[in-house]
Amino acid sequence: MSNDTQQHHTLLSALKAAQGKGDGSFEAAVTKAFEHVFDHLERLNSHVSLGGPDGEGRPLKAGESSTLR
């Protein structure tokens, strides 16, 4: 299993184990999970080319959703 896949399993297990405890562990697990998601998004964004001469996003194509670019 890849290191990232193992990390996903660890984060999910921590979320499940902390549910309903009321001791702040669930909030901590959610924070760690979101930090990992943000790491993924940062890596994805570093692979996306900037559009236009000033780095602004390119115009949407007809029928293209703004959430899918």
Q: pLDDT at position 31, please?
A: 97
Q: pLDDT at position 16, please?
A: 97
Distance CA 23, CA 44 (A): 34
Residue range(s) defining the domain that contains residue 4:
1-45
Distance CA 65, CA 69 (A): 7
Q: What is the DSSP letter of 48?
A: S
Residue 9 lies in a domain: yes
User: Rounded to the nearest 10 degrees, how much is the dihedral formed by the CA atoms of 22, 23, 27, 30?
Assistant: -90
Residue 63 lies in a domain: no
Query: What are the 10-residue block averages of pLDDT along the chain, 69 residues in total?
Result: 89 96 96 95 74 62 69
Residue 59 lies in a domain: no
Residue 66 lies in a domain: no
Distance CA 66, CA 63 (A): 9
Q: pLDDT at position 50, please?
A: 58
Residue 65 lies in a domain: no
- 0.75 exceeded by the pTM? no
Residue 62 lies in a domain: no
| Tally of domains in the chain | 1
